[in-house]
Amino acid sequence: MRALSLPISEEAIRSLNVGDPVALSGVMITGRDAAHKWMSDTFIKKTRQPQGDDLEVYEAIKPLLVGGAIYHCGPVVSGLDTKDYRFVAAGPTTSTREEPYQGDVMRHFNIRAVIGKGGMGAKTLAACKEVPGVYLHAIGGAASLIAQTVQKVTGVYKLSFGVPEAMWVIEVRDFPAVVTMDAHSNSLHADIEAKSKAELERLLAV
């Protein structure tokens, strides 16, 4: 198990390879479908004018994302009434839905670690090489276990997106994941996809 602290240095990122188990500590931010679309439309493609608290949130999340990690997660959170927030269950969500946005979001904010499940495609892999960055696979469904690594919820942005879609700022200790896409153009997901496809062709021919 390789211990990594956030933000992650470029050197540390380049030393990671597909298959490496890691334990992350530090501050990260959650962001999934609504957040990625919002970041892309408002600040990258600029197809939409900033409105409401958009600019304020943008300035607040920027320093958290530089060299940092974004976690594809829609948690169960307690303390919504009192704002004494606590993560009750917080496993990863399927990352491939962010494939259209992720590479550009990584480049824009200089994000070095994307955490989720199920892996991502060629566009994100290219960004991993460029930025550089890695994709870290957390265990899907292991929500109570992962929530225990969340020491503190230090803030939340865009709660108007709803609890699962909001951007939660969390402090984690020894958050477990496995490198499945690295900065050297290797992807475990591309490998498994290709091998299983070949096996499928064989089975279909039987």
| Dist CA 100 CA 138 (whole Å) | 21
**Spatial contact of 113 and 24, defined as CB atoms under 8 Å apart:** yes
Binding region for another protein (CB under 8 A): 19, 21, 34, 73-78, 88-91, 93-94, 96, 117-119, 137, 139-148, 161-165, 176, 178, 180, 188-189, 191-193, 195-197, 199-200, 203-204
By beta-carbon proximity to another protein, the closer residue of 147 and 172 is 147
Cβ at position 80, least distance to another protein in Å: 9
Rounded to 5°, the CA angle 190-141-34 comes to 75
By beta-carbon proximity to another protein, the closer residue of 131 and 179 is 179
Tell me the pairing of strands 21-30 and 69-71. Answer: parallel
By beta-carbon proximity to another protein, the closer residue of 40 and 109 is 40
Cβ at position 69, least distance to another protein in Å: 18
Cβ at position 110, least distance to another protein in Å: 27
By beta-carbon proximity to another protein, the closer residue of 131 and 146 is 146
**Spatial contact of 180 and 188, defined as CB atoms under 8 Å apart:** yes
* Helices assigned H by DSSP within the chain: 10-14, 33-39, 54-65, 99-109, 122-130, 143-147, 188-205
Q: Which amino acid does the sequence have at 124? A: T
Cβ at position 186, least distance to another protein in Å: 14
By beta-carbon proximity to another protein, the closer residue of 66 and 200 is 200
Cβ at position 113, least distance to another protein in Å: 18
**Spatial contact of 115 and 145, defined as CB atoms under 8 Å apart:** no
